[in-house]
């Protein structure tokens, strides 16, 4: 997995109520657009540098500074000083203590990009007491970037659940073909989180909405384009005892539908 870790200095602020904490998370889910698609070579640092500068602006409390990094879509939703102040208050609660970069996923036309992060967020003290939560929580965050006038700008991010709570295979020991259904009986697809070469092929760990699936792709069907961040689509057979393992009969990168 391509992971870069970053520690972030958090802003100081008052106590946030449990209802506002939940509202912060729900608001970001409602703002989030659909995911973009195929992978192109790109350094995650190109985007995390923008994100770090944005976080510094948010921590300063200045909307005018933060808005320099925001897309037109976001700015258009914040037309008044009141909405701008509420936005800054909201996003300050989502400044991570620490984050790790998983991978970058660019659209085929190079005009949009997703950056997948694992973030550690501070849980407000009042929320800890009322919801019986620990001081920090981990979550997956997808930063949405769009290119405007040749510059990358940040769209509404997508905040997902705790990656540690996703169902995943116990191990990447894939066994043999006889351990799987006799014929292909399933189709799965998702971004590649990591890959492990084995004697007869490669195991790809795919990220699905609420689980991770280990897919064994025989060597003859493996492409050099199957890299972390790319979206792999597999037609194959489920393991007889572990439904989170699949033996691939066919595997290919996801292709965007042709535009009309």
pLDDT at 40: 36
pLDDT at 16: 42
Position 172 in a domain: no
Higher-pLDDT residue of 229, 139: 139
Q: For the residues 244-250, what does the mean pLDDT come to?
A: 96
pLDDT at 218: 96
What is d(CA 259, CA 78) in angstroms, rounded to the nearest whole number?
A: 31
* Closest among 107, 126, 104 to 116, alpha carbons compared: 104
Show which of 165, 196, 215 is a domain's final residue.
Answer: 165
Q: Are residues 112 and 184 in the same domain?
A: no
Tell me the CATH number at 195.
Answer: 2.40.50.140
Q: Do residues 255 and 38 touch, judged by C-beta distance below 8 A?
A: yes
pLDDT at 120: 94
Taking only the tens place, the pLDDT of each residue in 36-45 is 333 333 478 8
Taking only the tens place, the pLDDT of each residue in 98-157 is 999 988 888 878 899 999 899 999 998 998 999 898 999 999 999 999 999 999 999 988
Q: Is 40 exposed, middle or buried (0-12, 13-18, 19+ CB in 10 A)?
A: middle
Q: Are residues 116 and 229 in the same domain?
A: no
Q: Are residues 57 and 88 in the same domain?
A: yes
Q: Are residues 120 and 210 in the same domain?
A: no
pLDDT at 258: 63
Its domain, for residue 66, covers 4-165
Q: Are residues 24 and 138 in the same domain?
A: yes
Show which of 141, 165, 189 is a domain's final residue.
Answer: 165
User: Number of folded domains in the chain?
Assistant: 2
Helices (H) and strands (E) in the chain, counts: 6, 11
Show which of 134, 165, 196 is a domain's final residue.
Answer: 165
Tell me the CATH number at 132.
Answer: 3.10.450.50
Taking only the tens place, the pLDDT of each residue in 205-220 is 998 878 999 999 999 9
Q: Are residues 90 and 218 in the same domain?
A: no
pLDDT at 228: 85
Q: Are residues 138 and 196 in the same domain?
A: no
pLDDT at 8: 56
Residue 32 has pLDDT above 80, yes or no: no
């Amino acid at each position: 997995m391509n992971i870069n870790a970053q520690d972030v200095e958090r802003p100081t602020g008052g106590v946030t109520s449990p209802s506002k904490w939940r509202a912060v998370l729900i608001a970001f889910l409602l703002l989030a657009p659909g995911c973009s698609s195929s992978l192109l070579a790109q350094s995650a640092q190109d985007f995390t540098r923008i994100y770090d500068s944005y976080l510094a602006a948010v921590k300063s409390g200045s909307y005018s500074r933060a808005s320099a990094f925001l897309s037109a879509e976001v700015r258009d939703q914040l037309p008044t000083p009141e909405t701008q102040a509420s936005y800054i208050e909201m996003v300050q609660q989502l400044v991570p203590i620490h984050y790790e970069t998983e991978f970058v996923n660019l659209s085929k036309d190079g005009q949009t990009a997703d950056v997948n992060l694992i973030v550690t967020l501070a849980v407000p003290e009042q929320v800890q007491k009322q919801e019986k939560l620990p001081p920090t929580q981990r979550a997956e965050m997808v930063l949405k970037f769009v290119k405007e006038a040749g510059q990358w700008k940040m769209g509404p991010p997508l905040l997902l659940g705790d990656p540690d709570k996703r169902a995943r295979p116990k191990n990447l020991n894939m066994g043999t073909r006889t351990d799987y259904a006799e014929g292909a009986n399933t189709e799965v697809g998702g971004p590649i989180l990591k890959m492990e070469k084995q004697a007869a092929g490669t195991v790809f760990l795919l990220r699905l909405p609420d689980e991770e699936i280990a897919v064994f792709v025989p060597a003859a069907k493996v492409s050099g384009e199957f890299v972390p961040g790319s979206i792999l689509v597999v037609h194959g057979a489920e393991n007889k005892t572990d439904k989170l393992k699949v033996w691939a009969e066919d595997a290919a990168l996801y292709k965007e539908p042709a535009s009309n």
